[in-house]
Amino acid sequence: MNVREIPSRDIKKYTSASWVDTTRKPYVYGETAYIPVKDGYPYSGIIPERKRNGRGFQKIGPIIAFHGSEPLDSDINEVIRLHNPQAVIWYRGHNGDMRIPDTTTLYGVTGDILHKESGIKYHLDPTRVMFSQGNREEKKRIANLVQPGEQVCDMFAGIGYFTLPLAKAGAHVHAIEINPDSITYLKKNILENKLTSCITVTQGDCRDNLAGPYDRIHMGFYEAVRFLSIALDHVQSGTMLHVHSIGNTTDKIERILMESGYEATCQHLAIKKIGPGKVHTVTDVRIS
C-alpha cells in the first residue's frame, strides 16, 4: 500500500484531501501516521496491507513491544523492516502491585529511552517499568477536566503517566509512588517537562502518605477500589475521584461511599480493552 508519512497529531487535517485513499485505514504508531494514498498520487513509502489477524504492538519511543503470546519470527522481522526499532521486546505481563514488567528482548538492546506523547516527554526503560499507550485518551480527558490551581493527588503515580498531564493542565499534583525505579523516572520526567514548581513527589505507600483534602484524587490502579475508603478520608465537598478498575465496579464503589457516609454521583466509562472480555474502566465519583 502506498502511504504518506505525517505526524499523528495532524491526521484530522488530511481526512478530506484528494490523495487520501479512504477505503483503507491509516496506520498510526506513536507520533507517526501512515496515510494510504490513492493510485496515481505521489507517496513517500510503501507498507504492506494490514493483515486481518496481524499482530498488534506498541511503540514506546524507539522500542517495539509485543504483548500476549510470543510473536512469530515473521512478525518480528516485519516490525524491524518497517520501523527500524532500537529493540523489540515481548511483554508477557507484569508482576505484583508494582507492575514490574516480565519481558524478553527479541532484538537489539533495551535501556532508558524517551517516549513522547501529547506534548509530554516520558523517560523510562520499558523492561523495568510499565507503560500503556491505551491510556492516551484518558490522560487527555482528565487533563481537560482540570481547573488551574486545583490540588490533586495521584495515588499511583508511576513514572508520571497522569501526574505530568495533570500538572501541565494547571494542577498542583501530590504524586505518590511506591516503586523506587518509577520514582527515579518520575523525578527525571518532572525536570524534563519543566514542572518542578507544580508537583510534589512522595515515595511510599499511598495509604500512609495522603495529605488532603484534595480537589481531585486520581486512582490509576486496577485494584483502586481496595484503596477507596482511605482516599475518602482526604476529600471535601466537590472532590472528584477517578477510580480505575477492570470491569464495572460502580456497585462496589457506591456501597463503600454509603458505608463511609458520603453522598456522591458516579459516572462509569470504558478506557480500553485489555483482553478477551476484560475492559479497563474508570468511575468518576463527585462528592456532594
Nearest to 242 by CA among 280, 271, 285: 285
Among 75, 117, 138, 177, binds ligand SAM (CB under 6 A): 177
Among 156, 195, 228, 239, binds ligand SAM (CB under 6 A): 156
Which one, 96 or 261, has the nearer CB to ligand SAM?
96
Amino acid letter for position 156: F
How deeply is 153 buried, as exposed, middle or buried, from its count of CB atoms within 10 A (0-12, 13-18, 19+)?
Answer: buried
Over the window 8 to 47, marking each residue x when it contacts ligand SAM by CB under 6 A and - when it does not, the resulting string is ----------------------------------------
> How far is Cα 240 from Cα 152, in angstroms, rounded to an integer?
9
Residue 165 touching ligand SAM (CB under 6 A): no
> How far is Cα 159 from Cα 179, in angstroms, rounded to an integer?
9
Over the window 53 to 92, marking each residue x when it contacts ligand SAM by CB under 6 A and - when it does not, the resulting string is ----------------------------------------
Q: How far is the CB of 146 from ligand SAM (least distance, A)?
A: 18
Q: How far is the CB of 84 from ligand SAM (least distance, A)?
A: 29
Binders of ligand SAM among 232-251, rule CB under 6 A?
244
Q: How far is the CB of 129 from ligand SAM (least distance, A)?
A: 7
> How far is Cα 210 from Cα 126, in angstroms, rounded to an integer?
28
Contact 146, 166 (CB under 8 A): yes
Peptide bond into 48 cis (omega under 30): no
Among 182, 189, 239, 281, binds ligand SAM (CB under 6 A): 182
> How far is Cα 167 from Cα 175, in angstroms, rounded to an integer?
10
The dihedral over CA atoms of 152, 155, 160, 163, expressed in degrees to the nearest 10, equals: -10
Which one, 171 or 206, has the nearer CB to ligand SAM?
206
Listed ranges 47-55, 83-91, 94-102, 140-148: which one lies at the site for ligand SAM (CB under 6 A): 94-102
Q: How far is the CB of 28 from ligand SAM (least distance, A)?
A: 22
Which one, 122 or 156, has the nearer CB to ligand SAM?
156
What Cα–Cα distance (Å) separates residue 123 from each residue in 61, 97, 272, 282? Answer: 9, 21, 23, 26
Q: How many residues bind ligand SAM (CB under 6 A)?
A: 19
Which one, 81 or 226, has the nearer CB to ligand SAM?
226
Binders of ligand SAM among 205-224, rule CB under 6 A?
205-207, 220-222
Q: How far is the CB of 142 from ligand SAM (least distance, A)?
A: 13
Which residues make up the interface to ligand SAM (CB under 6 A)?
Answer: 97-99, 130, 156, 158, 161, 176-179, 182, 205-207, 220-222, 244
